[in-house]
Amino acid sequence: MTSTHGMEFANDRSMTAAPLITVDKVTKAFGSVPVLKGVSTHFNAGEVAVIIGASGSGKSTLLRTLNRLEKHDSGRIVVDGIEVGDDPKALDALRAEVGMVFQQFNLFPHLTVLENVMLAPRRVRKLARKEAEGRALELLERVGMQAHAHKHPFALSGGQQQRVAIARSLAMQPRVMLFDEPTSALDPEMVKEVLDVMKQLASSGMTMIVVTHEMGFAREVGDRILFFDHGCIAQDAPPEQFFGAQEDERVRAFIGQIARQ
Amino acid sequence: MMAFFRSPWPAHWGRKQRSNATMGVAVVAMILVLWLLAHLVALAPEPIGSNAQAFAEGARVTVELTLVSGVFGIVLGVLAALGKLSRIPPLRWIAAFYVWVIRGTPLLIQVFFAYFALPELLPFVKMDEFGWACVALSLNVGAYNAEAIRSGLLAVPKGQLEAARSLGMNNWFTFLDVTLPQAFKIALPPLVNNIVALLKDSSLASVIGLVELTNTADLLRAKTYLPIPSLVTSAAIYLLLTTVMTHFSGAVERRFDIEDKLA
Amino acid sequence: MTASKTSLNSLTRRVAIAAAALALFAGSAAQARTIEDIRKSGTLIVASEGKFAPFNFVDAGKLTGFEIDVADAVAAKMGLKVEWKTMGFDGLLVGLQQDRWDMVIASHGVTEERAKAVTFANPHYCTGGVIISKDGSLKTAGDLTGKVVGVQTGTTYYDNAKKLPVKDVKNFPQDNSARAALETGHVDAWVTDKFVGKASLAATPGTSLKLGDFLFTEKIAAAVSKGNTGLVTQVNKALAEIMADGTYAAISKKWFNEDIRCK
């Protein structure tokens, strides 16, 4: 077993067969409030898609329907050939392939950093302790947190916790990583360290869908920008086009607003 | 009590080591207390001195009763808490009914019921008074534990479950590895409280003839017509036992206090 | 000069008051009421258990029974009224020693050990501890070898059963718990007073329990504070009078359809 086993990610955009994720006319309402109004799109393997939009526009909700943390009311979502529905076994299998990084990190406070990263591979992939530990330490090194392996989350800063959270998701070797506003809860000094890890991840070929307000990241790393507005995808374009020759007034206003912040 | 002294452990020991050590000491102390109790009590003036062995026996039965009922009580508490939070209505009803009835009736009646009524309802179960006392006490402490554990379970943040699920962990492992440890830690203070109360509640087993500490004191009291020596001795022994137990449970709390919230 | 004299006076006064209070307290703690005191107050304070039908029990909220009637008649002969008190069995004689009441009548068997602690009156009936078992399977003392016997805590039945080569003697705070233990199969035999047992079985006609032989016989008497010869003499005199003039005979017939005095 080589140490780089599992460390390489598919990097063959040129061989795009079917998309990795298909979203087809998905609607969702919270009570009587519609949040997703017939959203249709797709995501390809190896792609970094950045979703931006105002608060309440539905972007986080769409992300969370992809791994069924939210249930969509109608429409179809297919992830890596698995239809997103209510079958528990299918869901567990789906979620093992789809990693998620949360705004609030959600590290397990009663476990050490190392134990946090080891838990799922041991339980879900049935990895032996030594193997899981080895993989965990490598991942922690990748995100620069190996020195803190035996600390508990409460002893870490926000940026450090988020990096551990990324390593934890990567430990499951997912095919796609979802990021739900990963830096929104961080103090500005710590945003960079997390974005750096995400940039690294992107350049290694990981399929990523990122909901964020970080325009710089979107510009630099994104392959596609999806602009969400009132429950619909208002625009879907590569960054040069989106940030460069932007024709839509409200998009320009939005970008301008974010830039000013 | 321990808060009044400075910690007896070496200064460089971490929280885990210190609380592990305290737990170890408390367990050893409990065993020593029970072992040496006969000798200790023998030093007391008559009529207690010559009955020291009986008091030691009674104390031993009390501790056995508490430990056995305590363990079953935790299991019942977890099951009832899960039942109350279950999505299956019949499970919810059974759990809610159990907690409602047990918390709404006196333990004394429950003890009588276990000893006199249950054997008739379950004729195939043959147990002595110790067994039936354990049944009554376990059911009782279990109902109180259920509420403590349920609030612990509810207090685990939703984000924790979302993180576990999105890693692909199924219901069982999410519960075992993520929810339960956190819920347990939150529920620990009231659970600890319940087991110390259980030690004292075990005295009610005397009404069904179990010769534990209170019964032993009663027998001596009736024989000698002197209430004070018996009552003082049994009270002192209960106090000794609850103090050791409180130290142990304090150490257990500190052991799981990862974020050093406790002093 | 005046100031110190005043303070000395007030200090002396305070000491004197304290001393008087102490003497009063000590005094009242040590003195049982004499017959003169009782006659002056017009009331005799008598205590019983109230859980030992048909001798002393509570019916519709009122204390009643053979011994209640006997004590009322004795007091009437002494020209006194009775103020009744109740207490758990093993606390009655202790209450005498603490001078809570003047007399106790609760089917106490006269034993040497008890006579050290209290002064007994003449016996008001004779009986014995009888063996009760399912279908009368255990009749004699010999039958009890290797069996489990149930009795009430602190009774002569307990002491006598313990003397036999039984497997175990289980003690219960209430006598009716011992009966329940027999019925539910927790014990093999119940030892209690013959008349108590008879009345208990008669109250449940369909029962499979049957009376066996006497385990031992005993004199039953009321008790007064140790050394209160003045009172006990008057009680014995009144008792002899009601036994002679037919009052006792009528009471005994009412409750037992036989004369249960000591022959």
d(Cα B143, Cα A177) in Å, to the nearest integer?
44
pLDDT digits (tens, 9 = 90+) for C12-54: 677 666 665 555 544 444 578 999 999 999 999 999 999 888 8
Q: What is the predicted pLDDT for the residue at C230?
A: 93
Residue A35 dihedral angles phi and psi, to the nearest 5°: -115, -35
pLDDT digits (tens, 9 = 90+) for B115-149: 999 988 998 888 888 999 999 999 999 999 999 99
In which band, very low, low, confident or very high, does the pLDDT at A10 lie, cut at 50, 70 and 90? very low
The CB density around residue B73, as the number of other CB atoms within 10 Å, is 26
Contact predicate C252/C259, CB 8 Å: yes
Contact predicate C203/C54, CB 8 Å: no
In which band, very low, low, confident or very high, does the pLDDT at C61 lie, cut at 50, 70 and 90? confident
Contact predicate B203/B66, CB 8 Å: no
Asked whether residue A7 carries a pLDDT value surpassing 60, the answer given is: no
In DSSP notation, B8-50 reads -S-TT--HHHHHHHHHHHHHHHHHHHHHHHHHHHHTSPTTTGG
Q: How far is A250 from chain B (nearest CA, A)?
A: 33
Asked whether residue B183 carries a pLDDT value surpassing 50, the answer given is: yes
Identify from B156, B167, B262 which residue to disrupt to test chain A contact, counting A C-beta atoms within 10 A and taking the largest count: B167
In DSSP notation, chain A reads --TTTTT-----GGG--S-SEEEEEEEEEETTEEEEEEEEEEE-TT-EEEEEE-TTSSHHHHHHHHTTSS--SEEEEEETTEE-SS-HHHHHHHHHHEEEE-TT----TTS-HHHHHHHHHHHHS---HHHHHHHHHHHHHHTT-GGGTTS-GGGS-HHHHHHHHHHHHHTT--SEEEEESTTTTS-HHHHHHHHHHHHHHHHTT-EEEEE-S-HHHHHHH-SEEEEEETTEEEEEE-HIIIIIS---HHHHHHHHHHHH-
Q: What is the predicted pLDDT for the residue at A14?
A: 43
Whether chain B has a CB inside 8 Å of the CB on A259: the answer is no
Q: Phi/psi class of residue A87: alpha, beta or left (left: φ > 0; alpha: ψ in -120 to 50)?
A: beta
DSSP letter, residue B259: T
What residues form DSSP beta bridges with C209? C134
Q: In C, which residues are within 8 Å of B206 by CB distance?
A: 173
The pair of structure tokens assigned to C166 is 């039984």
Q: What is the predicted pLDDT for the residue at A261?
A: 56
Is the CB of C153 less than 8 angstroms away from the CB of B227?
no
Q: What is the predicted pLDDT for the residue at C7?
A: 56
With the CA atoms of C212, C179, C110 and C59 taken in that order, what torsion angle do they form, in degrees rounded to the nearest 10? Answer: -120
DSSP letter, residue B258: T
Is the CB of B173 less than 8 angstroms away from the CB of A67?
no
In which band, very low, low, confident or very high, does the pLDDT at B7 lie, cut at 50, 70 and 90? low
Q: What is the predicted pLDDT for the residue at A9?
A: 43
d(Cα C51, Cα C175) in Å, to the nearest integer?
8
Is the CB of C184 less than 8 angstroms away from the CB of B115?
yes
> Do the bridges between strand C56-59 and strand C51-52 make them parallel or antiparallel, or are there none, so unpaired?
antiparallel
Is the CB of C171 less than 8 angstroms away from the CB of B227?
no
In which band, very low, low, confident or very high, does the pLDDT at A130 lie, cut at 50, 70 and 90? very high
List Cα–Cα distances, A66 to A33, A43, A76, A202, C71, in angstroms: 20, 11, 10, 19, 88
Is the CB of B160 less than 8 angstroms away from the CB of A106?
yes
Q: Let me know the angle formed at the C-alpha of B167 by B164 and B171, rounded to the nearest 5 degrees.
A: 50
- Give the chain A residue whose CA is nearest to the CA of B164: A120
Q: What is the predicted pLDDT for the residue at B263?
A: 55
Q: Which of C184, C215, C185 is nearest to C197 (CA)?
A: C215
d(Cα B184, Cα B200) in Å, to the nearest integer?
23
- Give the chain A residue whose CA is nearest to the CA of B260: A154
Q: What is the predicted pLDDT for the residue at C218?
A: 87
Q: How far is CA C141 from the centre of its chain?
A: 25
Q: What is the predicted pLDDT for the residue at B27?
A: 81
pLDDT digits (tens, 9 = 90+) for B214-253: 999 988 887 777 788 899 999 999 999 999 888 888 888 8
Q: What is the predicted pLDDT for the residue at A5?
A: 39
HEC profile for chain C?
CHHHHHHHHHHHHHHHHHHHHHHHHHHHHHCCCCHHHHHHHCEEEEEECCEECCCEEEECCEEECHHHHHHHHHHHHCCCEEEEEECCHHHHHHHHHCCCCCEEEEEEECCHHHHHHEEEEEEEEEEEEEEEEECCCCCCCHHHCCCEEEEECCCHHHHHHHHCCCCEEEEECCHHHHHHHHHCCCCCEEEEEHHHHHHHHHCCCCCCEEEEEEEEEEEEEEEEECCCHHHHHHHHHHHHHHHHCCHHHHHHHHHHCCCCCCC
What residues form DSSP beta bridges with C63? C58
* Contact flag for B and C (3+ C-beta pairs < 8 Å): yes
Asked whether residue A256 carries a pLDDT value surpassing 60, the answer given is: yes
Q: What is the predicted pLDDT for the residue at C17?
A: 64
Residue B259: which of A96, A107, A154 has the nearest Cβ? A154
Q: What is the mean pLDDT of residues C52-80?
A: 92
Q: What is the predicted pLDDT for the residue at B225?
A: 73
Counting every residue written for chain A, the total comes to 261
d(Cα C142, Cα C149) in Å, to the nearest integer?
13
DSSP letter, residue B124: T
Residue B207: which of C113, C150, C177 has the nearest Cβ? C177
E strand or H helix at B250, and its extent? helix B227-255
Q: What is the predicted pLDDT for the residue at B90?
A: 95
Asked whether residue A258 carries a pLDDT value surpassing 70, the answer given is: no
d(Cα B9, Cα B13) in Å, to the nearest integer?
7
pLDDT digits (tens, 9 = 90+) for B23-44: 888 888 888 888 888 888 888 8
Q: What is the predicted pLDDT for the residue at A2?
A: 41
pLDDT digits (tens, 9 = 90+) for A189-199: 999 999 999 99
Residue C92 dihedral angles phi and psi, to the nearest 5°: -65, -50
Residue A178 dihedral angles phi and psi, to the nearest 5°: -105, 135
List Cα–Cα distances, C211 to A187, B114, C136, C214, in angstroms: 87, 27, 6, 9
Q: What is the mean pLDDT of chain C?
A: 88
Q: What is the predicted pLDDT for the residue at C184?
A: 87
In which band, very low, low, confident or very high, does the pLDDT at C256 lie, cut at 50, 70 and 90? confident
The dihedral built from the CA positions of residue C116, C119, C121 and C127, taken in this order, carries a sign that is negative
Q: What is the mean pLDDT of residues B139-168?
A: 95
Q: What is the mean pLDDT of residues C145-161?
A: 92
Q: What is the predicted pLDDT for the residue at B89?
A: 95
d(Cα B232, Cα B36) in Å, to the nearest integer?
19
pLDDT digits (tens, 9 = 90+) for A40-63: 999 999 999 999 988 878 899 999
Is the CB of B115 less than 8 angstroms away from the CB of C171?
no
d(Cα A60, Cα C115) in Å, to the nearest integer?
88
Q: What is the predicted pLDDT for the residue at B23?
A: 80
Q: What is the predicted pLDDT for the residue at C168?
A: 94
Q: In A, which residues are within 8 Å of B163 by CB distance?
A: 100, 102, 106-108, 165
Least confident of A15-29, B179-193, C74-88: A15-29
Asked whether residue B71 carries a pLDDT value surpassing 80, the answer given is: yes
pLDDT digits (tens, 9 = 90+) for C119-133: 999 999 998 899 999
Q: Let me know the angle formed at the C-alpha of A173 by A169 and A178, rounded to the nearest 5 degrees.
A: 45
